[in-house]
Amino acid sequence: MTDNHSSKAQPDCDVVVVGSGFAGIYALWQARQRGLSVRGFERGSDVGGTWYWNAYPGARCDVESYNYAYFFNNDVVREWNWSDACAGQHEIQRYLRFVAERCEVLKDITFNTKVIAARYDEETGLWSVQTSAGETIVCRYAVLAIGALSDPKAPDIKGVSDFAGEAYFTSSWPKDGSVDLRGKRVGVIGTGSSGVQVIPEIAKVAAEVYVFQRTANYVTPTAAGPMDPKLVAALREDPQAIRRAFRETFGGHTPLRMGDQRYYDLDAAERERVLQDAWDGKYIGLAFRDAYLPEANAAISDFLRQKMREQVNDAWTADHLVPWDHPYGGKRPCQSDVYLKTFNQAHVRLISLPETPIEEIVPEGIRTTAETIALDVIVYATGFDAISGPVFAIDISGVGGRSIKDEWVDGPLNYLGTMVHGFPNLFLPSSAMSPSVLSNMATLAEQQVDFIFDTIEWLDQHGRPLLHPLPVSQEQWREETLRYAQRRPGALTTKSWYSGANIPGKPRVFMVYTGGFKRYNETCYRELENGFPGYELLAPPRARRGEQVSGG
* Amino acid sitting at position 185: R
Question: What's the Cα-to-Cα distance from 530 to each of 66, 265, 519, 525, 534, rounded to whole Å?
Answer: 34, 42, 16, 8, 9
Nearer to ligand NA7, 322 or 381 (CB): 381
Please report, as residue ranges, which positions from 416 to 445 form the binding site for ligand NA7 (by CB under 6 A): 437
CB of 537 to ligand NA7, least distance (A): 37
Nearer to ligand NA7, 252 or 383 (CB): 383
Q: Does 220 bind ligand NA7 (CB under 6 A)?
A: no
Q: Does 189 bind ligand NA7 (CB under 6 A)?
A: yes
Q: Does 332 bind ligand NA7 (CB under 6 A)?
A: yes
Please report, as residue ranges, which positions from 149 to 188 form the binding site for ligand NA7 (by CB under 6 A): 149, 155-157, 170
User: Which residues in 69-183 belong to E strands, given as ranges?
Assistant: 109-110, 115-121, 126-131, 136-144, 166-169
Q: Does 116 bind ligand NA7 (CB under 6 A)?
A: no
> In angstroms, rounded to a whole number, what is the distance separating the alpha carbons of residues 394 and 403?
10
Nearer to ligand NA7, 131 or 197 (CB): 197
CB of 272 to ligand NA7, least distance (A): 29
> In angstroms, rounded to a whole number, what is the distance separating the alpha carbons of residues 20 and 358?
37
> In angstroms, rounded to a whole number, what is the distance separating the alpha carbons of residues 59 and 63?
12
> In angstroms, rounded to a whole number, what is the distance separating the alpha carbons of residues 180 and 202?
10
DSSP assignment string, 298-324: HHHHHHHHHHHHHT-SSHHHHHHHS--
Count the residues of the shown chain that bind ligand NA7, applying the rule CB under 6 A: 24
Nearer to ligand NA7, 128 or 502 (CB): 502
Nearer to ligand NA7, 333 or 398 (CB): 333
Q: Which residue is nearest to ligand NA7 (CB)?
A: 192
Looking from the CA of 532 toward its CB, the CA atoms found within 13 Å total 21
Q: Does 382 bind ligand NA7 (CB under 6 A)?
A: yes
For strand 334-335 and strand 13-18, is the pairing parallel, antiparallel, or unpaired?
unpaired
Tell me if 147 sits within 8 A of 384, measured CB to CB: no
CB of 216 to ligand NA7, least distance (A): 9
542 Cβ neighbours under 8 A, 6+ residues apart: none
Question: Which x/- pattern over 337-376 shows residues binding ligand NA7 (rule: CB under 6 A)?
Answer: ----------------x-----------------------
Q: Does 506 bind ligand NA7 (CB under 6 A)?
A: no
Residue from 168, 477, 497, 517 touching ligand NA7 (CB under 6 A): that is 497
Nearer to ligand NA7, 49 or 195 (CB): 195
Q: Please choose, from the candidates 521, 307, 161, 130, the residue with its C-alpha nearest in 3D space to the C-alpha of residue 321.
A: 307
CB of 168 to ligand NA7, least distance (A): 13
Output the CA angle 411-417-422, nearest 5 degrees: 70
Residues forming the site for ligand NA7 (CB under 6 A): 149, 155-157, 170, 189-195, 212, 214-215, 332, 353, 381-384, 437, 497, 502
